[in-house]
Chain A
Amino acid sequence: MTTHLPRIIHLATTDADFCAELQAAPQVALAERGLEANADELAALVELRSLIAIPPQKLATLLAIVPTRIWQAVAPIPAPAA
């Protein structure tokens, strides 16, 4: 795993300008600060961009609620054909 992903997330959490740049143009934002992300990490950052903008405490509250809600909404896996 990369050593940059923790730094990228921490910077996005604590620096509003970087957070906005990361959402608008992730590759540019990372390059400007000398940070690197592999293809999967970049894809993850892009998919998570709306959540990155949510203040950490609010996101934590959302996550504390979500598990039960989603478990209840998912149908059981059907039987595999033997």
Chain B
Amino acid sequence: MDGVADEIYNLIESLLPQSTVGSGFTSDLLSLVHAVYAKEKDNLSLIVLPVLCCQATDGDAHRAIPVAAAWQLLYLAAQVLDDIEDGETDHALWVTLGKPQALNIATGLIFASQRALSGLPRWGVSASLTLTFLDDFGRTILRMCAGQHADLAAQNGADLPLEQYQAIVAAKSGDFFALACRVGAMLGAGDAHQVAHYAEFGYNLGVLLQISDDLVGLWESGPRNDLAAGQQTLPMLYAMSVAAPRQRAVLRELLLQAPGDAGAETEARQMIIALGAPIYLLAEAQVHRLQAEAAVRAAGQFSPASDQLLTLVDRVMPGLSLIHLTGDAESDLFSSQDIEGR
């Protein structure tokens, strides 16, 4: 893993400008890249998704390095922009640099991503496939922008329908991860059906990641707490969709007060949980996990790389591991020592 990730990050560094005029720009870009690299090494290995999908379809993993770099650069750009647009402060680049420079960094990351793709012929990829990838990245970015636009508009209004939120998640997260797996598989020796199956895998992995974030954001303390941040995410929208009219009115009021009122935040959380949001999120997550697994199996080739893709799915939402607990799930976990210390 380290070897592949190192190659990807070495390529990313080589794509950044060397000009002394822009030394501050380059060093700020590198700081961001290095910070994410350090985090990735101890976290999910999502950066290698295109490489794994290339390997799973009998491709030369080396040729997928620039695609993985392009995808990672785009991911970083989206993260910087998202933080600004959502007013996110936790580890946000704009808090350190200010919004104008953070926007400039994001712009640089997008064009570095384009450079990674346009250099693909030097890695043995045909000019025709390179153009296809450039177009695929462009189309996906536009769909993500449309999803983000709808999300931002919805966060300013009330009662976002659950189905609309799911469509936004599909565009922002599902399509982005589908891109990584699709282009990786296209570099392999698989046919169009295999490529479609790996894209389907990526889509479900992306949605699963968002569901996991939404679940954690329900009780996370600090700036990542979605209730305190006034974010409308899956638990809140589920609760609003199933609550009786009176409950809904109460919950709506609590959600409005939650950003500045710890009591309202706690009450809103309890209400959302009592309406069944945790088990609903697990059910939705399990559906996408099953679909992701089915997609890899439908691709028909089993290899260490496809096994690693399945491992990745298991790691995304650890809460689903509760399914495998035997006996009394409550006593299994509640009796452990580290809970006593909480």
Contact = CB atoms under 8 A, between A and B. Distances in A.
Nearest to A62: B333
Interface residues of A, number: 44
B275 A13 contact: yes
A50 B45 CA distance: 31
A18 B216 CA distance: 28
Interface residues of B, number: 58
B242 A40 contact: no
B62 interface: yes
Interface stretch (B71-79, B120-128, B225-233, B280-288): B280-288
B330 A58 contact: yes
A50 B323 contact: yes
Given A9-B279, A50-B323, A80-B305, A43 B290 contact: yes
A44 B290 CA distance: 8
A63 interface: yes
A30 B131 CA distance: 49
| Contact residues of B: prevailing secondary structure | helix
A59 B55 contact: no
Nearest to A70: B318
A13 B323 contact: no
Interface string B209-242: 0000001101100000000000000000010011
Given A10-B242, A62-B330, A80 B286 contact: no
Task: Classify the secondary structure of A's interface with B.
Answer: helix
B61 A80 contact: yes
Contact of A63 (B238, B280, B308, B319): B319
Interface in A15-69: 40-41, 43-45, 47-48, 50-52, 54, 56-67, 69
Given A6-B242, A44-B286, A79-B2, A14 B276 contact: yes
A48 B287 CA distance: 11
B1 interface: yes
Nearest to A79: B1
Contacts of A69: 318, 338
Contacts of B3: 79, 82
Nearest to A74: B315
6 contacts: A56-B274, A60-B219, A69-B318, A70-B318, A80-B4, A80-B48
